[in-house]
A = this chain, B = another copy of it.
Amino acid sequence: MAPKSNHLLLKAARGEEVDKVPVWVMRQAGRYLPEFREERSKSDFFTICQTPELACKITLQPVERFPLDAAIIFSDILVIPQALGMEVIMQPGEGPVFPNPLKISDVAKLSEASVVPDVLSYVFDAIRLTVDKLSGRIPLIGFAGAPWTLMAYMVEGKGSKTFSAAKSWLYKHPVLSHQLLERLTESTILYLVGQVQAGAQILQVFESNAEYLTPDLFRTFALPYLQKICDTVKQKLKDMELPVVPMIVFPKGGHFALSALSKTNYDVIGVDWTIEPSVARSLVGPNKTLQGNLDPCALYGDKASIEEAVRRMLEGFGRSRYIANLGHGIYPDVNPDSVATFVDAVHRFSSQPATIS
């Protein structure tokens, strides 16, 4: 099925005029859906990722429930460290855990980036299957974790409130850190190109651990790699005569990074809930699409309060160059009805010309 280039989400990403604001939800196929929990009770998390039919099925679950403007392939950012040879398990209640976090002496033992497309061919298969099932109805988003975000998990071994172990590498072992980040960058480039080859129509790079960095560390250890990923992926797609898809970067907690990211070739910049729409817009200027930034906890409110929050958000961002989303992945205890309210409110309010300019 040939992808359509006039999808609402793709138009918004490219800054074209839209008649309503597109919307999707980070982690939209996840634990808040009973049909996901049902599937998850039968299979291990990474088994689902590695089984194209299951990954496809779960990718489509939210799309069948809500009139979302994109699907996002069900996978995990930590498949890259896995492909490079590290073990990752999903610990109930804790999230992903590396039983053997990366040690200094391990960096040289990681696999070459060139293995990634082979090892992760199951993701490409899942994408092919999903694009086929979507039949061009809405676009499919491919994604990857950004190098610093992956490094933070690999070194720390699990989630953390400070990521101080991983950050200590940046201060103590800057050369080795750059080597590791370079390996992750090469891997991510191959991985993202493979996703587009398989049919992904837009790509998001998750810099979920931006918030632990200082502006200086971001400039040194994150920005150059984010830039390289965007530039090289787009160049490779061009060289391969594949569609040069729009790219989204989401620096969670990276308010200090927005201005610098506006000077890169990313088409869309995601923002979390801690920033006013007007501040985000003034930091990135008029030439980027913004994505976000409803507080995931706003979905705990009643219908009227969700609608009010959406209305304020739309007023803040305007209708052009904007993709509605949460400011972070949806939380597992949210009522699916609240997602329906959110998606409907975005579409309804933004298609009323009087409300949103």
Residues of A within 8 A of B (CB): 159, 161-162, 164, 167-168, 170-172, 211, 213-217, 253, 255-256, 273-276, 279, 295-298, 300-302, 305, 312, 328, 331, 333
Contacts and interface: CB of A to CB of B under 8 A. Distances in A.
Given A213-B274, A256-B275, 15 more contacts: A162-B296, A164-B297, A164-B331, A164-B333, A167-B300, A170-B297, A171-B301, A211-B253, A211-B274, A214-B274, A215-B274, A253-B253, A253-B274, A256-B276, A256-B279
A171 B274 CA distance: 16
Given A164-B331, A216-B312, A331-B164, A274 B297 contact: no
A273 to B, nearest CB: 5
A275 B258 CA distance: 12
Contacts of A305: 171
A57 to B, nearest CB: 28
Q: Is the interface of A mostly helix, strand, loop or mixed?
A: helix
A290 to B, nearest CB: 15
A284 to B, nearest CB: 15
Given A255-B255, A255-B274, A279-B256, A297 B168 contact: yes
Contacts of A162: 296-297, 328, 331
Contacts of A300: 164, 167-168, 171-172
A133 B51 CA distance: 68
A215 B275 contact: yes
A199 to B, nearest CB: 33
Contacts of A295: 167, 214, 217
Nearest to A95: B161
